[in-house]
Amino acid sequence: MLNIPIREFEPNSAIDDAAALEQFQKQWPTYQKLVDADALSHHAVGKILHDTLTATFAEPFAFLDIACGDASQVAQALAGTKVRHYHGVDLSKPALELAAKNLAGAAYEVELDHRDFVEALTRRPEPAGAAWCSLSIHHLQTDGKLRLLEAIGASTSSFLMIYEPTLAEGETRDGYLARFRRVNRPAWTMLTAEEWGEIDHHVTSCDLPETAATWLDLGRKAGFAQARELFLDPTGFYGLYRYEC
Ligand SMILES: C[S@@+](CC[C@H](N)C(=O)[O-])C[C@H]1O[C@@H](n2cnc3c(N)ncnc32)[C@H](O)[C@@H]1O
């Protein structure tokens, strides 16, 4: 089996979402249960990503996966596309070790960086053709999201897609949290009471969703030429957005 090395980087500054990250590292098995049950609609967004990459790139391209986690869903989305080079960035070493396993034997080059995505993006030498970020930048404050989108725009030549928690129009964060509990507590029967408690704590203390209008506006302010919503998952909690360079 091909051994994919994980490159280590020393952080130069405090990480903006350190608390979210710490919680997340402890909760990977719980998150994995949600992914396995497709409770977050990874299959649907993976198919849209696959179809978009196939339609956009007739020639080999480089793909940037921001906060790649274990890369399991993206590995499926990339299969059969013209991807030549995959660059995954994540701060969780255990997740990257899983990513190395999930991408071993891939038909494209793989680079995995153990690094804060804000730092990785502001110091990226070569632009990628397409950038992707799923369920990760919503821990940043709104101005931090903007700065990250600006950095991604400067590092990407064709488009960025993000899949992120989304407030209903006019909904407050408290309203979102109440809706999250009302809808997901009875639906996520795959979680034990303790696991639900972990997720509830994480969402309550770390998640900063935006309305679809704000997600799109942030992309335009960051300099992307166009921004549009491609998909809202059936529960209405997660939106997929595409930004053209
Ligand atoms: C909910 S998971 C999403 C993983 C994957 N993108 C997916 O959709 O399944 C969030 C990921 O973001 C990573 N993460 C959070 N903050 C980060 C940061 N500042 N820099 C790099 N990765 C970060 C976590 O380690 C975790 O792997």
Q: H or E stretch including 157?
A: strand 156-167
201: which residues sit within 8 A by CB, 6+ positions away? 23
CATH number at 113 reads 3.40.50.150
Which residue has the CA at smallest separation from atom 20 of ligand 1? 116
209 three-state secondary structure = coil
Query: pLDDT per position in the chain (245 positions), as tens?
Result: 457 889 888 766 666 666 656 666 678 889 999 999 999 999 999 999 999 999 999 999 999 999 999 999 999 999 999 999 999 999 888 889 999 999 999 999 999 999 989 888 876 777 899 999 999 999 999 999 999 999 999 999 999 999 999 999 999 999 999 999 999 999 999 999 999 999 999 999 999 999 999 999 999 999 999 999 999 999 999 999 999 99
Nearest to 167 by CA among 218, 236, 88: 236
The CA distance from 245 to 149, in Å, is 11
Expressed in angstroms and rounded, the spacing between residue 64 Cα and the centre of ligand 1 is 13
Which residue has the CA at smallest separation from atom 26 of ligand 1? 69
The CA distance from 201 to 26, in Å, is 12
Domain that holds residue 152: 6-244
Residue 200 lies in a domain: yes
Looking at the 3D structure of the chain, how many domains does it have?
Answer: 1
Residue 49 lies in a domain: yes
Expressed in angstroms and rounded, the spacing between residue 224 Cα and the centre of ligand 1 is 23
Residue 1 lies in a domain: no
pLDDT at position 35: 95
134: which residues sit within 8 A by CB, 6+ positions away? 42, 45, 67, 69, 73, 74, 162, 163, 164
The CA distance from 93 to 238, in Å, is 26
Expressed in angstroms and rounded, the spacing between residue 200 Cα and the centre of ligand 1 is 17
pLDDT at position 21: 66
Residue 47 lies in a domain: yes
pLDDT at position 1: 43
Q: Are 200 and 208 in contact (CB under 8 A)?
A: no
Residue 40 lies in a domain: yes
Which residue has the CA at smallest separation from atom 10 of ligand 1? 136
**And the tokens for 14?**
């405090």
With the most atoms of ligand 1 within 8 angstroms of its CB, the residue from 35, 89, 90, 98 to mutate is: 90
Expressed in angstroms and rounded, the spacing between residue 81 Cα and the centre of ligand 1 is 24
Residue 131 lies in a domain: yes
**And the tokens for 21?**
């990250």
pLDDT at position 201: 92
Residues with CB under 6 A from ligand 1: 15, 17, 21, 24, 31, 35, 67-69, 73, 89-92, 95, 116-117, 134-136
Residue 217 lies in a domain: yes
Which residue has the CA at smallest separation from atom 18 of ligand 1? 116
Residue 129 lies in a domain: yes
Closest atom of ligand 1 relative to the 35 alpha carbon: 9
